[in-house]
Every structure is written in structure tokens, then in C-alpha cells.
Amino acid sequence: MNRVNFIELPATNLAAAKKFYASLFGWSLTDWGPTYSCTMTGDVDVGLQGDRAETALHPLPVIQVADLEAVEKSVTAAGGVVVKPIFSFPGGRRFHFRDPNGNELAAAQYE
């Protein structure tokens, strides 16, 4: 636990991104609605976020944790800032935070 298991990439043109990664690496992508698609290998997976309202400006590392609420509370004590409180998504819950250098990351707990 407490390891990067997912990286989310902004994809303003989701169809082009899916075609690119499938062609380049042979990735099989699963759609989760009209604006999101991801690999489902069970290792370090990649998500493509096409919803501009939900997209981070840069690639978003997602860290799998055992106790999401405890980690969210610990962010500020460690010098970070929660920028998006805990929310649900298909398969789990997560929140976003910035480290002291302004990098955005997410912590997630899966069902």
C-alpha cells in the first residue's frame, strides 16, 4: 500500500488520446462514460481524463492508501493542502492535494 498505482493524464481530445496510446503501445482502454477511459492491468494503470472541469493541468499521480480519511487529515500536518476533498468514483473514493512545491497528487482507496 501507499504506492503509486495510477497516473491520470489530461486528454482534451479523448478520442485522439485513446487512438494514440492504443496504436503506440497496444493499450486496451476501458471507457467509464463519455469523458474517461483507462487501462485496467491491475499494476500501474493510466487514465485519460477528457472532462475539462475535472482535468488536472498536469499528469496526476494517484497513490493507493488503506485509510483515505486518515491520509486526508495528515496532508496539512505534513505541509500540504487538500484541493479537492474526498469524492466517489466508479471503483472507489479519492481526494486531491498539493505538496509544498505545488505538485498535485491524489490519494485513493479502492472498493
Question: CATH number, domain at 90?
Answer: 3.10.180.10
Residue 106 lies in a domain: yes
pLDDT in tens, 69-83: 999 999 999 999 999
Q: Are residues 79 and 64 in the same domain?
A: yes
Same domain, 51 and 63: no
How many domains does the structure of the chain reveal? 2
- What Rg, from alpha-carbon coordinates, does the chain have? 14
pLDDT over 90 at 1, yes or no: no
In terms of Cα–Cα distance, which of 65, 108, 101 is closest to 84?
Answer: 108
Confidence band, pLDDT 50/70/90 cuts, at residue 101: confident
Q: Which domain holds residue 41?
A: 9-55
| Prediction pTM value | 0.86
> In the listed set 39, 55, 71, which residue is the last one of a domain according to the structure?
55
Q: Could you tell me if 66 and 29 lie in one domain?
A: no
Task: Identify the band that residue 100 occupies on the pLDDT scale cut at 50, 70 and 90.
Answer: confident
CATH number at residue 34: 3.30.720
SS3 content of the chain, % helix, strand, coil (to 5): 20, 40, 40
Count of C-beta atoms within a 10 Å radius of residue 63? 17
Q: Is 1 contained in some domain? A: no
- pLDDT of 28-54, one tens digit each? 999 999 999 999 998 999 999 999 999
